[in-house]
Amino acid sequence: MEQQRLKSRTEIPEASKWHLEDIFSDNDQWEKAFADVETLLGEGKKFEGHLTDAPETLIGCFEWMDDLSLQIEEVYTYARMRRDEDNRNALYQALTDRAGTLAVKVSSSASFVVPELLAMPEGRLKEFQATSQKMKLYTQALDDILRKKEHILSSVEEKLLAEVGELAEAPGAIFSMANNADLKFPSINDEAGQSVELTKGNFIQFMESHKQGVRKEAFETLYHTYEKQKNTWAATLNSSVKSDVFFAKARNYPSAIEASIDDDRVPLAVYDSLINTVHEFLPQMHRYVQLRKKALKLNELHMYDIYVPIVPETTMTITYEEAKDMLLDGLKPLGQDYLRILEEGLQKKWIDVYENEGKTSGAYSWGTYSSHPYVLLNHQDTLDSVFTLAHEMGHALHTFFSNREQPHLYAGYKIFVAEVASTLNEALVMEHLLETTKDPNTLAYLINHYLEQFRGTIFRQTMFAEFEKKIHSVVEEGGALTADSLSEIYRDLNAVYYGSEVILDPEIAIEWARIPHFYNAFYVYKYATGFSAATAFARAILDEGEPAVARYLKFLSGGSSDYPIELLRKAGVDMETPVPVRNALQVFTGLVERLETLLA
């Protein structure tokens, strides 16, 4: 029997590929834009040392920076997304590398601006703001700069840090190439006994298999492959953590975590409160694990038994076309304007749908201010892929609304709120399915899937967040991160989060080696806070209707025109209290009870 294999890029139908020509029609146009950025770089010299001269000079400098930002965004995004189509493509490896180097030059060329603004007498800046109507546009941007005064260095030091930025990206770039382009997994036997190449894209599909032997083989094969290079993965992650610590110290922050979350003006108490609140509900997580063990009729529950649906009679094979229809039905509560834009995205090649050889794993939404948003998928015909589509289109429409309503300066929303729109979409699609499903087995299957979203997004991401906090503390206290120490920390956290009912298979200790988000430190906690905020929005939209939709769409249109905590508060969700996280986990508790009843 012929072994199934991944298709090459050329074998993927054109209708299933995104249309990056909406950014640049061809590589020649990209080269011209690259050259334009290089030319524009030099124009900053006329502003350097003169920002205090007149309001017009300062405004001119802001406009130059915004233009430069807009153009480098297009140059870098196009190159990187082309590379993501097939990471082995040498042409787009080179274009991405060139674009990355140019982006560092862009950052360096504008490095004089913030130090000059901070050195400017406060009265002079207030005078500019009082005498120039145009200055009002920059009120929020200036506030965001001035509040960080104690963390901004001299012009010379800022320039040096900007130039070091390219080196700081090396650990993540090395991990990405090793993980996506070079790492190959052996073949395993699927449920039919057919030899199939294991990939990062189909791994979860195998973990959802109802045959424990298939799950076990996929689990062990994946992690044994990572284990063979554990010291390389450890050295790479250690370098990334050291880079985080270096930049935090350079900018006079007490810790790397405080440096990171200050970008969103999020208090450290929000991060710690998330971990503490989740720990409060770990008994409910353990209760869910016990239910899983009982429902699967297993004497021992292993880490490779965590993903399999616990309603074995139900299987859901959902094509991409069916997934799109489910999305449109589930998101009707968001109103006609939202649905119209969603349909446009689904129909007009915003999305790169299927996995192919060399393609970047996972899923994301990206794009540029001048183009529409884009979505990268690695679609499998599973329920999970339906929710991935819902998730990424949530990001895409958040971007669309912010781009439509905000100037480029404020269009890019902060990461803290980025996961709200995506997980709200998932919640509404799930609520629709729970409402319309009559078959008890399918209903139990869906509740199980919803519980998995809670487990994967609140519990698992908070475990990741706690792991990040711990490994950065090790380095900040002068310790060393080795493969063994990373694995020990990671294994111990799994023991706490999953409880005594789960056999901690030794392979799980190396899972940290395959998580790309660890190279963007203190990011993952935002999945958990975003999920909690999204749960609050979903309940309001379903309960109140139009008034809640209006508040939500205004939030989506906010970009970075205010701080993320404030944007959420204005829309009715206060993340500075533990209430949204606690309420979300009470929904989790109710779902566990409901599933216990269905499976009794």
Is the distance from CB of 32 to CB of 109 less than 8 angstroms?
no
Sort strands 502-503 and 364-367 into parallel, antiparallel or unpaired: unpaired
Please provide the size of the chain in residues.
Answer: 600
CA distances from 29 to 23, 36, 39 (A): 9, 11, 15
Catalytic residue among 85, 158, 355, 392, which? 392
Alpha helices in 372-414 (DSSP H): 383-405, 408-411
Facing residues of 367 across strands?
373
Q: Give yes or no: 392 in active site.
A: yes
Positive or negative torsion for Cα 77, 81, 87, 91: negative
What's 175-187 look like in SS3? HHHHHHHHCCCCE
| 581 neighbors 529 (Cβ within 8 angstroms) | yes
Q: Is 52 exposed, middle or buried (0-12, 13-18, 19+ CB in 10 A)?
A: middle
Q: CA 15, 19, 25: angle at the middle one, nearest 5? A: 135
H helices within 189-267, ranges in order? 203-207, 212-227, 230-250, 256-262
C-alpha distances in angstroms, 523 versus 111, 257, 261, 411? 25, 10, 9, 20
From CA 389, how far away is CA 374, in angstroms rounded? Answer: 12
Catalytic residues: 392
